[in-house]
Structure 1
């Protein structure tokens, strides 16, 4: 019997090549998109799940009052781990990691020269018990002894092969930040799904004394504390005792209400209040959204299949009548038609797997991931393939099989099957409405997302960013402690004289940067309880001119090695309690142990991405904090300038690798995730629309099959081709409008929630919805109009003879 079903199904599908191709195409597109989204969601939700003790691993984070609500950071004071270990015996192990991204590694050579490497993943200072908490296999050497003593290092297999051409690098020497480290062990490479991308681990004890001197008042987001909770202990017990711990070490005068909280390892990659060492997070809301999109695409494909199947049902009415007359039961017919659907679904799944494999090469490069179809060990992948095949077969096949198998033999043999009585007319119309609810939701969402990205690109950030080159300064300086000669100032002056260089400036960072140096300040005479938070920009005398920062009150500052006075932005004036910028001129501000007057106020500018509101900023001279050389260059001479700057920079810093970047490109990287998401969403929207058009094509085909004689009669009575097309297109326009009425408010709500994550955003106006509706109507009318046109131009004599 099964063999008979398969043979019959194959023959039917082979005869109806057009509809079979449409069905397979729709299902293939839907399954391919959902498979890619499945792989993406699976990867993003799997971060650090491989650690065997993951349920007992926690990160200690810092929470305090900010100017605009709670401030969260993953960083802690470096003295916290020792105190935490002593006060919380429930913690089996406590470890600190101090990360340095974008670091230069030097390999000393016998001939006196050195090999230099810029490592984007940088290095991490860690303690030996890191390996007691986290699973990172040691290939050669010992984890327990590898980081015990100062100037020791553990290297990954990948980096060992890169640096030394061999896996066993034990005994080799690497140099970081003027200090040499001897490699004591080799560890396995880190997996793709981890927030601990460490290739080179240096012994923290090397820098511990210097870092501990900062005490409890210094917090850096890349210095993080992790602990392993003892088995049987409750994290709630530690949380209850945390207030006493804070009072003991921070003191009762805790004006910012600073405290420490515990974050489970499982939430590190999904909690966007904090950062990770990969500097990426995937909020649960985003994962849910991607999952919903995948489900929508599958549903859209199934609806398309149903519409096409029922559209072709009339052609099979006589077949059903004959089979029933010869004794076939309805159950047998249902199984036969379900078999046809399953065969189509299996073929679509196999084609989807092949297409996905081809697309992953491009997708991985675009997303900077390493997604793969691992059939040998990925049980979730097999579960997805089997469940989707089964669900799609049932969703797509059950309704058409029951409709077709339900034809009455007498009516079927006399070709008296009507669309409204036998083919689920209203249900099919409802499915088309649902299909276009999904499509129009995607269209509106994509328009909003792209519009927001364009807004980011066009919005003024309050400073000049075009034709600005930034070059790192790799060494800190304190001329007062030496011979009084500043290498970086000398370099700046030499470069300023080059043709094509309009201005050169030394600073900690550009006006807008991913690295923010912050502290708290108070006006002279105010108590500690009046402290407010502010960002600090350490600048020279050329900074305002180079970046075009506009003074609204007072004057600029000189070009000194240390601060003599401050410049602030308008937001700090507001936070400090002044209405007029002129009122703060001459007032003295205290932070970092110094009290100096404010001599100028600049217009507000964005220091971070447009997700966050503009905060207070203090600009001050401090050569010890200069890390960046910025150049405003003639756009026509950029490459010429770079070619002249490089040898001068290398002469000043021969131990380092010259590097540069354009400021506008750095700023675009702030929104790289959203840009990628907008492109992906555009692709998935296009797929949803295309699949929806296939569904409309199915309805139009059904209409043409049902109303062939009616069209012939109308043409004989004088109806024009245009009139026939408009008459039969009007029904589908109504369905699209109904879908729009449902999709528009849903899209407005969802996209408004997404926009609320940005301090600066567009307003969703009526134009967005009209454009979305217009796009859908245009595409749908083209699809239906094509089929209507074909039916309308048929010779009426042939139409009237149609059986």
Structure 2
């Protein structure tokens, strides 16, 4: 019986080549899309799961609530926290401090490289985290202060085939470190990405001061510990050693290591894209299944005699259901095999687009294998469900008398399926348009400063120490307009401080502001608008130590309409406010503009390594070359590295850009699959109405009237699909836009555009069949009547 069913299925496949191709290729595209997204989601979900202690490893982060209602969340931790947790919190098995710094110069003999990613960590780092050693002892590798553990790749780069253990690397022309271990190259799905690890105390010593510091704290808990209870304990320990000032509340929280990659602190993160992509995978697969159902039920009449005869000779309804389900699953697995070839074909392009390194490796990966087979089986059952039930319900008497009367029901069901299919496609079109509009808005919004023609350089110590000389030489070039420096780059400022005071401040009111120490010409270089007062000026000798400039949001927080001239104190430094700068975006547009204070502090000169050069719009490459030559003159051992600030800003939205592009490709794929189904359905409907079209032509109907007749119904379906898709798209995408503090207004234009695009695609798909039928010779269709 099974062999007979397979024979019939293959015979039908060959007999109806066009419909079979549309069915199988549509299903294959849908499954290929689903497989690609499954691989991407699996890769995202696997981040940090290779660590043996993954279930008990946590990162400590801090939640701060201020008396003015604002709050702040940050992962930066406290230098002494690890030491006190080890002695005062029995739930903590071990704890380490971790910091990271890119672009460090490391040399061995004549080999010098600056593209090194250095991690600073406590000695037990390799006890907590699983990074397999090739050489050396993970327990003792970082015990010595002047030691370094390097990756296999770094070992090859510096030492080739030589044994690296015991060799000495020089860091930043300052410290000589002995190689004590070599680890395997880090997996791509690790939140830690470095090529060497140095003892934490070498870089930072053992400071006792509490406060926001450039480090993160990771703890390994007992397997029996309750996270909520541990959070209360470590918060209490922190309060014991560093009491929180009145007017603010501080809570230390624990974030599981396995959630760090996907879940951003405070909500959001890449998990949003996991949900979006998963939904798209389902949508595309459903569209492909709808194609199959539509074409299978549309072709039902061609199999009516077969079904009638089978029932007459004793076939039960359950037998027919098994047969048609079997055919559907067979087609699904044929499509599945084709989908695997499609995935292998486009996987390199997908990896390049998504910046991933996923691969379709079925050997030994039982999870992905089960997942893929499940997709094929689910697709076969879903796409074959209605056709199996519909075809098996035919009555043999009606079939053999040619009085089959179930066409109205099947026609209505096909219309529902087509409307559903286009509703999904229109939703995806609207989503793609809104995503790209939001990206364009973020990249082109007025940030409060001019990001164009601005060069950023992170200065080496030699350059920073001779800053004035460097600056004077650079300004000899007429295309270099302004130069300044600061402690932080304005696109990544995260530092906040709550040791603030000003005239009229309520002592019980505890607030914080973002801050930066800058040099003269800062606001002029960035073209920031000073809306009140003045900028820092060399004409005022007190500006170097006693002047502050705040943004409009800070003035609002202080409750001052005109704060210029008012007394102000920041982190123990006292002075007066000399100016108010217009609000500017120093954070991505996901975040609201917050209060900000600028100051000048001679004690921070050595930390002010962010150099900004405003250049003219002409001869940019020649000007950058000139800057390179001057910088090398001051630091000959360091390769020249720079960034255009506009590119640096746009890189903040790299995830959104990448995901938006991927969504647009999958949307195009969904539309293509919809068009395949619509093409097949239109072809069948034209075939069914061939005699009607012939009669109309004989009676004088023009080609245009016949084309209009055949396309009118499809147009109506697409319009109904728009009515369904619009409110759903508005609700969901409005929720997505709420992730941004500043976003576009979703107006009617994007919905109208999506409707026009969908309608044009549908009409172009159907028109080919309609025109072909309209220009056919009516004699051919009426010859045997």
The interval holding the TM-score normalised by the smaller chain is over 0.9
Partner of 1:645: 627
In structure 1, the gaps of 5 or more residues are: 276-280, 479-485
Matched residues in 2 for 1:619 and 1:253: separation? 23
Partner of 1:482: none
Check if 1:184 corresponds to 2:163: no
Contact 1:729-1:781 within 8 A present in 2 as well: yes
Shift of 1:678: 1.2
Contact 2:531-2:580 within 8 A present in 1 as well: yes
- Pick the aligned partner of 2:444 from 417, 433, 458: 458
Other structure's SS at 1:99 match: strand
| Counterparts in 2 of 1:492 and 1:234: CA distance versus 1, 3 Å | same
Aligned-residue RMSD, C-alpha: 2.4
Check if 1:539 corresponds to 2:518: yes
Shift of 1:331: 4.3
Matched residues in 1 for 2:198 and 2:468: separation? 32
Instruction: Encode CA deviations 1:1-36: one digit per residue, 9 max, x unaligned.
Output: 333333332232123221121112211211111111
Partner of 1:193: 189
- Pick the aligned partner of 1:707 from 683, 689, 698: 689
Instruction: Encode CA deviations 1:102-124: one digit per residue, 9 max, x unaligned.
Output: 23231231xxx5512312xx211
Partner of 1:50: 50
| Counterparts in 2 of 1:588 and 1:13: CA distance versus 1, 3 Å | same
Shift of 1:39: 0.8
Matched residues in 2 for 1:496 and 1:342: separation? 73
Check if 1:503 corresponds to 2:482: yes
- Pick the aligned partner of 1:397 from 372, 379, 384: 384
Instruction: Encode CA deviations 1:286-317: one digit per residue, 9 max, x unaligned.
Output: 32221111111111100011112222222233
Matches within 5 A, 1:603-622: 603-622=582-601
Partner of 2:223: 231
Contact 2:682-2:766 within 8 A present in 1 as well: yes
Partner of 1:663: 645
Shift of 1:169: 1.7
Matches within 5 A, 1:741-760: 741-760=723-742
Shift of 1:136: 1.7
Partner of 1:207: 203
| Counterparts in 2 of 1:578 and 1:801: CA distance versus 1, 3 Å | farther
Check if 1:551 corresponds to 2:552: no
Matched residues in 1 for 2:640 and 2:165: separation? 30
- Pick the aligned partner of 2:455 from 461, 469, 477: 469
Instruction: Encode CA deviations 1:644-667: one digit per residue, 9 max, x unaligned.
Output: 221211121123221011111111
Other structure's SS at 1:635 match: coil
| Counterparts in 2 of 1:776 and 1:477: CA distance versus 1, 3 Å | closer
| Counterparts in 2 of 1:802 and 1:732: CA distance versus 1, 3 Å | farther
Matched residues in 2 for 1:366 and 1:514: separation? 26
Shift of 1:513: 1.1
Single out whichever of 405-414 and 1-10 deviates more from structure 2.
Answer: 405-414
Shift of 1:68: 6.0
Other structure's SS at 2:749 match: helix
Single out whichever of 587-596 and 659-668 deviates more from structure 2.
Answer: 587-596
Number of residues of Structure 1 aligned to a counterpart in Structure 2: 776
Other structure's SS at 1:471 match: strand
Other structure's SS at 2:359 match: coil
Contact 2:457-2:612 within 8 A present in 1 as well: yes
Instruction: Encode CA deviations 1:488-510: one digit per residue, 9 max, x unaligned.
Output: 11111101111422222222345
In structure 2, the gaps of 5 or more residues are: none
Matches within 5 A, 1:242-641: 242-251=234-243, 253-273=245-265, 282-325=269-312, 328-413=315-400, 415-418=402-405, 420-421=407-408, 424-475=410-461, 486-510=465-489, 512-520=490-498, 521-524=500-503, 526=505, 529-559=508-538, 562-579=544-561, 583-622=562-601, 623-641=605-623
| Counterparts in 2 of 1:737 and 1:664: CA distance versus 1, 3 Å | same
Other structure's SS at 2:461 match: coil
Instruction: Encode CA deviations 1:173-211: one digit per residue, 9 max, x unaligned.
Output: 22324222111111122212111223211112323535x
Other structure's SS at 1:753 match: helix
- Pick the aligned partner of 1:159 from 154, 159, 166: 154
Matched residues in 2 for 1:283 and 1:659: separation? 30
Shift of 1:282: 4.4
Contact 1:37-1:294 within 8 A present in 2 as well: yes
Length-normalised TM-score, structure 2: 0.94
Shift of 1:729: 2.4
Matched residues in 1 for 2:247 and 2:462: separation? 33
Q: Which runs of 4+ in 1 moved over 6 A?
A: none
Matched residues in 2 for 1:200 and 1:38: separation? 33
Contact 2:520-2:537 within 8 A present in 1 as well: yes
Instruction: Encode CA deviations 1:86-144: one digit per residue, 9 max, x unaligned.
Output: 221121111111222x23231231xxx5512312xx21111222222222222211111
Shift of 1:82: 0.8
Shift of 1:540: 2.2
| Counterparts in 2 of 1:515 and 1:802: CA distance versus 1, 3 Å | farther
Matched residues in 2 for 1:167 and 1:691: separation? 56
Other structure's SS at 1:385 match: helix
| Counterparts in 2 of 1:795 and 1:138: CA distance versus 1, 3 Å | same
| Counterparts in 2 of 1:570 and 1:282: CA distance versus 1, 3 Å | closer
Instruction: Encode CA deviations 1:770-795: one digit per residue, 9 max, x unaligned.
Output: 11111111111222232222233333
Single out whichever of 618-627 and 557-566 deviates more from structure 2.
Answer: 557-566
| Counterparts in 2 of 1:255 and 1:76: CA distance versus 1, 3 Å | farther
Single out whichever of 736-745 and 663-672 deviates more from structure 2.
Answer: 736-745
Check if 1:126 corresponds to 2:124: no
Partner of 1:170: 165
Matched residues in 2 for 1:653 and 1:127: separation? 31
Contact 1:517-1:536 within 8 A present in 2 as well: yes
Instruction: Encode CA deviations 1:28-82: one digit per residue, 9 max, x unaligned.
Output: 2111111111111111111112222222222211111256632111111111111
Matched residues in 2 for 1:515 and 1:601: separation? 19
Matched residues in 2 for 1:794 and 1:419: separation? 30
Other structure's SS at 1:146 match: coil
| Counterparts in 2 of 1:233 and 1:508: CA distance versus 1, 3 Å | closer
| Counterparts in 2 of 1:490 and 1:208: CA distance versus 1, 3 Å | closer
Contact 1:540-1:558 within 8 A present in 2 as well: no
